[in-house]
Amino acid sequence: MPTNGITAAPVIDVPRGLAGVVVTDTALGDVRGREGFYHYRQYSAVELARTRSFEDVWHLMIHGELPDPVRSAAFVRETAALRTLPDEVRAALPAIARAGSVSGPLAGLRTALSLFGASRGFRPVYDIDANRRLEDTLLATAVVPTMLTALHRLGEGLDPVEPRADLSYAANYLYMLTGAEPEPGHARAIEQYLISTIDHGFNASTFTARVITSTGADVVACLVGAIGALSGPLHGGAPSRALDTLDAIGTPDRIDPWVRERVLAGDRIMGFGHPVYRTEDPRSRMLRGIAEGFGGPLVEFAVEVERRVEVILAELKPGRELHTNVEFYAGVVMELCGLPRSMFTPTFAAARVVGWSANILEQAQDSKIIRPAARYVGAEPPVAVPLPG
């Protein structure tokens, strides 16, 4: 009803979970689930992962174009110079790591990144211009790998490893994680994984970042909210769980009975199925190729499990297209490259922070706050308030 001359906006019913609901326009990319294709600014994301560096795709996402060799080298130098943490943040990391000894580096990242934003004086995106917003996203993105690896090492009783400006984003990440310069093949495999997971439509964490940005909050506040969404096992917390599935099956002769038991019980098999794709996940296809390039028993077993799971799912759930998603072979590749499982989802965050940043920059151009409605289903109001006593 009209109130004070203002007509309330109509309430529109939408699908549960906002599935398929368009909430904004974006020039950053799209996911075409029925085609098994997704892109970053018109370029196939998988093709970018096969042919370009992480820094080139980072440049594409925030500047809107792939850099030429001169600009690429300049961007690498610019971002590499931002990796070192301020003294006040570095001094706080041991306490953050101790407090998060159970929850791990991703939870610690929320605290460390908040401290970083405060120490650098990050201001609300509503109050700053586009250049300052861009600077803030570069600063925050560059330090995320440094924080994650430091928190992991401190949790293991090891000293953090200082970043090296002469290594690429991916190679430096592995270097800070292990303390040793990585093999080129491992660095490139992780780089390709990172590129393939930079962005992927309006997933839960990206949408969270944009909702917070719409309030005018600072860049770090937006990123911390996105990290919280990513930490959920139904979003970014699945790569290690998918690998746990392989461990639970154990041997090839146990694949069929193990899978049948879980499917018939209605359990979800981690690493299979996707809310958008109705065909093979292109990220999984690419990562399977990377894994097969390494070879070995784990890869052979994973490929056989994938084959049998798809056969059994087709038999027990006819008419449904269920294939491996990115988490299944991501876990295999990260295991082969020596990453501990506790760092699988944090590694995902080290990539997705670029996509979040690009979305923050895009959303900050729109001053309209995101404020949907909810349907009240509780007891009929008003109810008299009982007197105390």
Active site residue 327: yes
For the record, the structure tokens of 211 come out as 């909702």
Pairing of strands 29-32, 43-44: unpaired
Q: Could you identify the residue written with the tokens 């490139």?
A: 188
CB 100 within 8 A of CB 150: no
Between CA 259 and CA 265 the distance in angstroms is 10
User: Among 191, 327, 335, 362, which one carries the catalytic annotation?
Assistant: 327
Phi, psi at 40, each rounded to 5°: -115, 115
Q: Which residues, 6 or more positions from 237, have their beta carbon under 8 angstroms from its beta carbon?
A: 230, 231, 345
Rounded CA separation 136/141 (Å): 9
* 274 is a catalytic site residue: yes
Task: Give percent helix, percent strand, percent coil of the chain, each to the nearest 5.
Answer: 60, 5, 40
Q: Which of 274, 306, 323, 335 is catalytic?
A: 274
DSSP 81-139: TT-SPPHHHHHHHHHHHHHTTTT-HHHHHHHHHHHHHHHTT---GGGS-HHHHHHHHHH
- Kindly report whether the peptide bond that precedes residue 257 is cis, defined as omega within 30 degrees of 0: no
Q: Which residues participate in catalysis according to the annotation?
A: 274, 327
